Amino acid sequence: MPKERWSSKLGIILAVAGSAIGLGNFLRFPVQAAGNGGGAFMIPYFVALLLVGLPLMWIEWTIGRFGGGFGHSTAPGMFHTLWEKNKFIKYFGVIGIFGPIVIFIYYVYIESWLLGYSVFALLGKYNSCTTEQSMSAFLQAYQGLVKNEFFAGIAPAYFFFLITFILNVWVVYMGIQKGIEKVCEWALAVLFLFGVILVIRVLTLGAPDPAKPDFNTINGLGFLWNPDWSALKSAKVWLAATGQIFFTLSCGIGVILTYASYLTKQDDVALSGLSAASANEFAEVILGGSIVIPAAFAFFGPAGAKNIAAGGAFNLGFVTMPLVMEKIAFGNIFGFMWFMLLFLAGITSSISLAQPAIAFLEDEFNCSKKRACGIFGIVTFVLCQPAIFLLSKGVVDELDFWGGTFCLVLFATIESILFAWVFGMEKAWTELHVGSDITIPRIYRFIIKYITPAFLLVILGMWFWQDWRSVILMKNVSQENRPYVLATRIGLVIFFGILVFLVFHAWQKRKQKGEQNAS
């Protein structure tokens, strides 16, 4: 079976940008910026982008294309090609399949809320919710956490989950060109269109209440971007900025490795990686930073905006923004644009999370696309159920920490050391520039070899030094939720072990086939 390829350079750039552009760009970023020094947050943010984000993008694009040339589309095989003499390195690559699946099984449920809210906005279903308390009650009822006059159970949420789940599996089943590439091309075009329209609408709000002329979107931008320089003294702010870069670029997950494996040897990875990162930064800093917080400030003032930002990303997206949209003309239409923008950002990310597992089944077990998608669909559908029905029990938070935080940093650390120190910086630098339309500044040889791994090791070391004991002992988990969290952890360990066994089995088959060919 011939290996799939992207149809164009633009296709792969948009696919990687789509993977990176997600809910974090429009919800997590403004919350992080507002809560960590405003404009001052952008200094550690861009430092992390230049010293960690861009180097990791180039590392993953290069490893992915290199490994793809040997018939591998996932991290276990790619790590093996970089360090063939080490028998165990491929098992570290399991993280690059494990992490995306763990994120997928809760992310796709949250993504489905956005599809549901898009419909609710058009139908005006939440229009009767005029306070933060009533809008929160609407969300909780939709999630099945409570029963009230809005929803009698979780059935509506489950209906939209089924649609979203089937849509994700269908897109990856259609393949690289007809599925992922086409969806990302159309989804990002609509996403950016809706984003620009919403930014223009927010910035032309002025002061909605004539009695409070200071409550306007210009001051809202100032609230978000005026720097609190004292925040730069806090290590927490620097860690928050680095964490946001990880989230926003989808680095350290294994997704970019898989996407880049469908490139040919002469396809440019240097300029393509830079272009995908630039598209993501535009979506995050320009669009994400100009919609939610300025709008919240205009209607609720500085104290309200501060409380809203402190309430977290979900509160911002599902409570504050619907309330804001209700207060403007054609609010239902703008509400639909807001939630559909987030849904499109979500689906371009979730399909990328599905691809590594499907590619692993295709490459290492010679599964057809149909069979691989069938196996992935059945397994992940079952795994999604705890995130849906045990949402209030801390399961999603646990999945998010291990899949979306810890594994992410650990995997990025491993691949950066493997690329620069094991594969070798000389070979790595040459490989990075094969077919390149640009020459990366030579200072990045030093950054990729020394600064990026050191940065990651410090972050990982600080976590082990400060937090590992409290996390393992579940000190921040309520007594009621501890059995569910413990069960989740046991399930994750078992699932990781199964993936390790599958990698072992795949390499045993390769070894036997090689011996048969040799004889």
pLDDT of 517 strictly over 80: no
Cα–Cα dist 417/410, whole Å = 11
Please report, rounded to a whole number, the percentage of residues in the chain having pLDDT higher than 70: 99
Cα–Cα dist 486/490, whole Å = 6
Angle, vertex CA 349, rays to CA 348 and CA 354, nearest 5: 100
> Which residue, chain included where needed, has tokens 């709008």?
295
The total of structural domains in the chain comes to: 1
In a domain, 214, yes or no: yes
Q: What is the pLDDT of residue 518?
A: 65
pLDDT of 452 strictly over 90: yes
DSSP string, 308-355: HHHT-HHHIIIIIHHHHHHTSTTHHHHHHHHHHHHHHHHHHHHHHHHH
pTM over 0.85: yes
CA distances 491 to 383, 401, 408, 500, 517, Å, are 10, 14, 19, 14, 39
In a domain, 196, yes or no: yes
pLDDT of 445 strictly over 70: yes
Reported confidence tier of residue 218, pLDDT bands at 50, 70, 90? confident
Reported confidence tier of residue 519, pLDDT bands at 50, 70, 90? low
Q: What is the pLDDT of residue 185?
A: 94
| pLDDT tens by residue, 119-161 | 999 999 999 998 889 999 999 999 988 888 889 889 999 999 9
Reported confidence tier of residue 53, pLDDT bands at 50, 70, 90? very high
pLDDT of 240 strictly over 70: yes
Rg (CA), the chain: 23
When mean pLDDT is compared across 27-31, 231-235, 504-508, the lowest value belongs to 231-235
Q: What is the pLDDT of residue 458?
A: 87
| pLDDT tens by residue, 378-395 | 999 999 999 999 999 999
Q: What is the pLDDT of residue 244?
A: 86
In a domain, 32, yes or no: yes
pLDDT of 1 strictly over 70: no
Q: Which amino acid is at 10?
A: L
Containing H/E element for 375?
helix 369-389
Reported confidence tier of residue 106, pLDDT bands at 50, 70, 90? very high
- Domain at 455, CATH number: 1.20.1740
pLDDT of 171 strictly over 90: yes
Q: What is the pLDDT of residue 471?
A: 84
Q: What is the pLDDT of residue 148?
A: 83
CA atoms within 13 A on the CB side of 408: 28
Q: Bigger pLDDT: 494 or 246?
A: 494
Query: What is the span of the domain harbouring residue 244?
Result: 9-518
Cα–Cα dist 161/380, whole Å = 13
Cα–Cα dist 384/381, whole Å = 5
Q: Bigger pLDDT: 54 or 303?
A: 54
Cα–Cα dist 484/480, whole Å = 8
In a domain, 4, yes or no: no
Confirm if 338 and 195 have CB atoms less than 8 A apart: no
How far is CA 7 from its chain centroid?
A: 24
In a domain, 463, yes or no: yes
Nearest to 99 by CA among 306, 449, 352: 352
When mean pLDDT is compared across 26-35, 190-199, 266-275, the lowest value belongs to 26-35
136-140, 167-171, 318-322, 455-459 — most confident range: 167-171
Nearest to 313 by CA among 346, 281, 286: 346
pLDDT of 241 strictly over 80: yes
Q: What is the pLDDT of residue 250?
A: 81
Q: Is 38 left (phi over 0), alpha (psi -120 to 50) or beta?
A: left
DSSP string, 202-270: HHT---SSTT-TT-SHHHHHHHHHS--GGGGG-HHHHHHHHHHHHHHHTTTSSHHHHHHTTS-TTS-SH
Q: How far apart are the first and last CA of the chain?
A: 25
Q: Which amino acid is at 175?
A: G
**Structure-token pair, residue 17:** 């940008």
In a domain, 419, yes or no: yes
Q: What is the pLDDT of residue 8?
A: 87
Summary mean pLDDT of the chain: 90
Angle, vertex CA 32, rays to CA 31 and CA 35, nearest 5: 80
What integer is the mean pLDDT of 306-321? Answer: 82
Q: Bigger pLDDT: 331 or 239?
A: 331
Rounded to the nearest 5 percent, the helix, strand and coil shares of the chain are 80, 0, 20
